[in-house]
């Protein structure tokens, strides 16, 4: 059986590393690295990040690719959850087009660009790594924030380096809070309190006024 036929055994895996490949392709480490490089160049494999791959055939077979992209965003940097602009656009809170998949992590911030898209990760302190749910979409388990947590994450990081801010600044962001319900505001306020900084308590008050 040649190596091309062996690599086909990986076509049902949502992602894998070189150790997994070596289970199907019996060659030494150096030769494997060269083969992986060649498979990426000829389009057999897609490199998700250094050391992590998926077969092109697996990705092409997917009907709705969005659940897979969301799932793989959780895997590229663990632990992480979808948040900020990506989720805010889903709920119509931000109306401009977003061309990246944005996530929160407790690791250092990072960006990965591959054939599937652009994946951006922002760091947040451990105690604020909360406010997300695990949902099942097309067989993929995906961690994504609530709309309240996505808004908090976005504003928290955007305002982190500022000593103070005012309602005019928040209004300049042109947030669409028509679908931001009372329960969402209560949840948002909880994260502002959890941040442990006076300026974020002020943020909760301003958002409430904008909401009204």
The tens digit of pLDDT for each residue in 197-212 reads 989 988 988 888 776 5
Instruction: Judge whether 3-61 and 66-211 match in fold.
Output: no
- Chain segment 116-160, per-residue pLDDT in tens: 999 999 999 999 999 999 999 999 999 999 999 999 999 999 999
Domain 3-61 belongs to what architecture?
A: Orthogonal Bundle (1.10)
Task: Report pLDDT for 2.
Answer: 60
CB within 8 Å of 107: residues ≥ 6 apart: 77, 79, 80, 121, 123
Q: Given a cut of 50, is residue 1 above it in pLDDT?
A: no
Q: Is the peptide bond before 79 cis (omega within 30 degrees of 0)?
A: yes
Residue keyed to tokens 């077969």: 55
Query: Can you list the positions of beta strands (E) in 12-169?
Result: 45-49, 52-55, 80-82, 101-105, 110-114, 117-123, 132-137, 140-145
Is the separation of the CB atoms in 39 and 16 below 8 Å? no
CB within 8 Å of 187: residues ≥ 6 apart: 131, 146, 148, 149
Q: Between these two residues, 124 and 179, which has the higher pLDDT value? A: 124
CB within 8 Å of 157: residues ≥ 6 apart: 84, 122, 124
Q: Is the dihedral of CA 64, 69, 72, 78 positive or negative?
A: negative
- Indicate the pLDDT class of residue 111, thresholds 50, 70 and 90: very high
Q: What letter does residue 16 receive in the DSSP assignment?
A: B
CATH 3.30.460 for domain 66-211, yes or no, is: yes
**Percentage of the chain exceeding pLDDT 70:** 97
Domain ranges within the chain, ordered by starting residue: 3-61, 66-211
Q: Given a cut of 80, is residue 28 above it in pLDDT?
A: no
In angstroms, what is the C-alpha Rg of the chain?
21
- Indicate the pLDDT class of residue 8, thresholds 50, 70 and 90: confident
Is the separation of the CB atoms in 120 and 102 below 8 Å? yes
Q: Report how far apart the first and last C-alpha atoms of the chain are (Å, whole number).
A: 67
Report the pLDDT averaged over residues 55-61: 97
**Across all residues in the chain, what is the average pLDDT?**
92
């Amino acid at each position: 059986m040649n190596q091309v036929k062996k690599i086909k055994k990986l076509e049902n895996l949502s992602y894998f590393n070189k150790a997994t490949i070596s289970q199907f392709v019996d060659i030494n480490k150096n030769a494997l690295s060269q083969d992986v490089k060649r498979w990426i160049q000829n389009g057999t494999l897609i490199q998700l990040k250094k050391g992590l791959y998926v077969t092109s055939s697996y990705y092409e077979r997917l009907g709705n690719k969005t659940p897979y992209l969301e799932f793989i965003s959780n895997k590229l940097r663990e632990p992480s959850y979808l948040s900020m602009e990506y989720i805010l656009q889903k709920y119509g809170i931000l109306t401009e087009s977003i061309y990246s998949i944005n996530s929160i992590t407790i690791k250092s911030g990072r960006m990965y660009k591959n054939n599937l898209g652009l994946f951006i990760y922002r760091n947040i302190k451990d105690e604020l790594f909360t406010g997300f749910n695990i949902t099942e979409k097309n067989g993929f388990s995906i961690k994504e924030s609530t709309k309240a947590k996505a808004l908090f994450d976005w504003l928290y990081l955007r305002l982190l380096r500022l000593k103070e801010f005012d309602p005019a600044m928040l209004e300049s962001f042109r947030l669409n809070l028509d679908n931001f319900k009372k329960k969402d505001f209560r949840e948002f306020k909880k994260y502002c309190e959890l941040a442990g900084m006076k300026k974020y308590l002020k943020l909760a008050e301003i958002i409430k006024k904008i909401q009204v």
